[in-house]
Structure 1
């Protein structure tokens, strides 16, 4: 082994070269541009790499290529099915282009998000994809001054730091409420949990549609806690206790709507005859319940995929037609309404 590898305990490129009897440049070429090395020599080099457990030094590669081939993705939740699909869309694009993803979990905390941004900016990354367009003032400053490509996802906002991919949540809330009013529901409630910016925008859309038709906007119940099925059940109970004439409830996500449906079944309430229920995101559970749940379908995988493609274009200095992509939404009507 070389003196450097003895000091670090790590197998180096020189160690592999010494074992095969070639230069470091030849080993590097066999790894980076294998088509430039004869098949027999390439096989010998890769056999030595496998036997010795050699792992390329990524830091050295960054210096020579001027790219780390690493991006950061910061999301508020790893258990939420919405973000699982978004991550899959990003992953499919970036891994295919040889990029690795550093995944950060903020837990819906803007201060934790700020800490993650500060930490990851020290890693020589090529770009950042981050959930939402609402951050602390310091996070905004760090991202803007980093001079890195930044894509904010889940919301489409012309005032984003750099680029954005998502949808108009206020418009989605408005269109769903209009849809319910058009079906004849008059006493429509709204129930929301966590109440981050996206949930608040959905509530704003609900209010706009309610006000336009001069219906009551009193039936609102929100919580700062995370969504659970039990919370959905409890919210249904509270809304019906406070406003027993409620004929429909618009929940800010599908977990709450499903929990309310389970509570209706426990109480022998018929859905939608006694009360109609709708959710948001159109997760798999919407098609698995009986009756199936009406929901706002958002293009989760496409948001991740398009965000990754935008980021790659900026990293590679390719032209971009639009920095802000509104991918829209669909009202998936099912038996619960």
Structure 2
């Protein structure tokens, strides 16, 4: 009887998959990782052989053999935000043809939790890391620098010299919202925000700058809540704002779900939008185009950020020269009925 499995574990090995499918172990490995250069017919044979043997790849062993895994780590602050879901989908589309596995870490907007994820994932010797923004603990910075693992930062522009970033100016986006409301003749402008992560506060600063330049800055017309952003919270914060400043006639929300909740709350309270108060959201989530009234929002390039960040990381892995350390994907103000 022919023995199947490694001497130590008894599990089927890559060599056995290769032998059964009539290809080299390297070709078998590439076929199972989805590398696009392997002919479809060979992929089919290798996959069938692996299935018949019950073979499951051991990424830890592969990393030890090559001193580098075929995994890319993506660290994001939320899996409940559509922004990051779209970004992750785009990253997968770029990485999959190269046979790279995408390991996702969700740190819930907590720099301590991100630090633990970085420490744990670096033990797996990833070939690259995609990070969200630039704000993290000093320990995280030191670990990343010492690891030598190529990194690309997403969603923001800037950072230290040599740091690659793919995103857009959050501050300019906040300024654009203010300038739009001012151009619509609104003068009692407010900012409503939740979560209060660094990118939210950058938008807030851009909004404030535009108001100061127009002589309209009123710090009291801000409602900032550290809770996670949601439709329900948007309605609550809108009501809270009107209690504090019933004369407000224009509002910029840090995220569309807050704005959507405010639109619904205004409907319940008989407040006309935009006649009494104009509203502008952020991210242009799918439901915003179907609200009543349809929501004006700043459309963010979340999929483009994912694609370009992933490609930038691949370029680093391929040893290609970096032409532009800051890739600005821009944003678009989508004007609809709410403003």
Structure 2 residue 91 is matched with structure 1 residue 90: yes
How far apart, CA to CA, are the structure 2 residues paired with 1:305 and 1:127? Answer: 15
DSSP 3-state at the match of 1:238: helix
How far apart, CA to CA, are the structure 1 residues paired with 2:58 and 2:100? Answer: 15
DSSP 3-state at the match of 2:78: coil
User: TM-score, normalized by length of structure 1?
Assistant: 0.90
Question: 1:99 maps to which residue?
Answer: 100
DSSP 3-state at the match of 1:208: helix
Structure 2 residue 73 is matched with structure 1 residue 72: yes
Shift of 1:288: 1.4
Structure 1: gaps (5+ residues): none
How far apart, CA to CA, are the structure 1 residues paired with 2:329 and 2:237? Answer: 31
Q: Which has the larger radius of gyration?
A: 1
DSSP 3-state at the match of 1:124: coil
Question: 2:231 maps to which residue?
Answer: 229
Aligned residues: 331
How far apart, CA to CA, are the structure 1 residues paired with 2:204 and 2:303? Answer: 24
Question: 1:116 maps to which residue?
Answer: 117
Matches within 5 A, 1:280-299: 280-299=282-301
How far apart, CA to CA, are the structure 1 residues paired with 2:19 and 2:125? Answer: 31
On the 8 A contact 2:14/2:25 being kept in 1, the answer is yes
How far apart, CA to CA, are the structure 2 residues paired with 1:98 and 1:308? Answer: 13
Equivalent residue in structure 1 for 2:259, among 257, 260, 263:
257
On the 8 A contact 2:250/2:277 being kept in 1, the answer is yes
On the 8 A contact 1:140/1:161 being kept in 2, the answer is no
Question: 2:322 maps to which residue?
Answer: 320
Q: Which moved more, 1:174-183 or 1:55-64?
A: 55-64
Distance 1:296 1:42, change over 3 A: closer
How far apart, CA to CA, are the structure 2 residues paired with 1:140 and 1:124? Answer: 16
On the 8 A contact 2:67/2:125 being kept in 1, the answer is no
How far apart, CA to CA, are the structure 2 residues paired with 1:238 and 1:36? Answer: 59
Please identify runs of 4+ aligned residues in structure 1 that moved more than 6 A.
Answer: 17-20, 33-37, 41-46
Residue deviations 1:181-215 (CA, integer Å, cap 9, x gap): 11100000111101111110111011101111111
Residue deviations 1:131-156 (CA, integer Å, cap 9, x gap): 11100111111111211111111101
DSSP 3-state at the match of 1:73: strand
How far apart, CA to CA, are the structure 1 residues paired with 2:81 and 2:264? Answer: 20
Matches within 5 A, 1:143-162: 143-159=144-160, 162=163
Shift of 1:32: 5.2
DSSP 3-state at the match of 1:278: strand
User: TM-score, normalized by length of structure 2?
Assistant: 0.89
Shift of 1:162: 2.4
How far apart, CA to CA, are the structure 2 residues paired with 1:43 and 1:250? Answer: 53
Shift of 1:44: 7.8
